Amino acid sequence: METNYERNYYTLKNWFDYIGYDDWSIRYDLGLSSTDLLKQMLIYKYNFTTELNSEPVGSTYANILFSKYILARYKEETIGYVDVPYCNPFDIVEPTLAEKTAVYEDFTRRFIAQLNLTYERYSKLIELYEANKSDLLNELTTETISRFNDTPQDGGLYADDEYTTNVTQSSSKTNVSILSRLAELDDTIRNLYTDWSNEFRKVFIYV
């Protein structure tokens, strides 16, 4: 009897579900906004400690890339497949856990390799533009003046500092050019993350 094969495809969402997103304890303890979510999930499910470059996988930049760009963009893309042999269509069985795990682990290694390969270039550029943002934000200040005045009932000038017992002062400076530059930097940073996510197309399988 001729042997046929049933091909079972697995997506990034399947990998993410398997690696921990569907586990309540992981979601509760870490949350999607955790800066080390990516690293913690990989260590939680796999013994990849020797393959994980601690700086990229544990960095804020890599986790922003992963949670806000890669997951959103590639969620339904194929990461691998398993061919299950059968002779009778009624005898088709699901891939085993070991077969599925092999797909997930193979993808994880490709993903980590690509992250390590591209991290230095993009992280340094993002860090540079983030520093420029911080410098510009420091130029924006706020100033207010409030006084509690104890002018005597029988005389004295209200404006005299002699009778001022409490003064609070700050300054306000809003520069349109600064705000415009901040918007440009935000766009540049978003574009860098988008370009970085483009680098990961090669770790997926297009069918």
**pLDDT in single tens digits along all 207 residues of the chain:** 688 888 999 998 888 777 655 443 444 444 444 455 676 666 655 555 555 555 677 788 988 898 789 888 998 999 999 999 888 878 778 899 899 989 988 888 888 889 889 999 999 999 999 988 888 777 765 444 555 555 555 555 545 555 555 555 555 555 667 788 888 899 999 999 999 999 999 999 987
Query: Looking at the structure, do residues 66 and 87 belong to the same domain, yes or no?
Result: yes
Domain match, 43 and 111 both? yes
Domain count, the chain: 2
* Nearest Cα residue to 66 out of 193, 176, 205: 193
On whether both 134 and 146 belong to a single domain, the answer is no
Asked if 114 and 156 sit in the same domain, the reply is no
| Residue 152, both tokens | 């005597």
Q: What φ, ψ does residue 192 adopt, rounded to 5°?
A: -65, -45
Structure token digits, residue 77: 């893309």
Alpha-carbon gap, residue 151 to 196, rounded angstroms = 64
pLDDT at position 164 is 52
The pLDDT value recorded for residue 46 is 56
Whether 115 and 169 map to the same domain: the answer is no
At residue 15, the pLDDT reads 85
CA atoms of 112 and 40, how far apart (whole Å): 13
**Closest by Cα among 133, 159, 125, 128 to 145:** 159
Tell me: do 82 and 39 sit in the same domain: yes
With H, G, I as helix, E, B as strand and everything else as coil, classify residue 43.
Answer: helix
Shared domain for 150 and 193, answered yes or no, is no
pLDDT for position 25: 43
Q: Do 184 and 87 belong to one domain? A: yes
Same domain, 33 and 128: yes
pLDDT in the model for residue 23: 47
User: pLDDT at position 91, please?
Assistant: 78
Do 151 and 72 lie in a common domain? no
Q: Which amino acid type is present at position 114? A: Q
Question: For the CA atoms of the chain, what is the radius of gyration?
Answer: 28
Position 68 scores a pLDDT of: 85
Range of the domain at 166: 141-174
What integer pLDDT is reported at residue 56 of this predicted model? 78
**146 and 48 housed in the same domain:** no
Helix (H/G/I), strand (E/B), else coil: 147 = strand
Same domain, 83 and 148: no
pLDDT of residue 146: 52
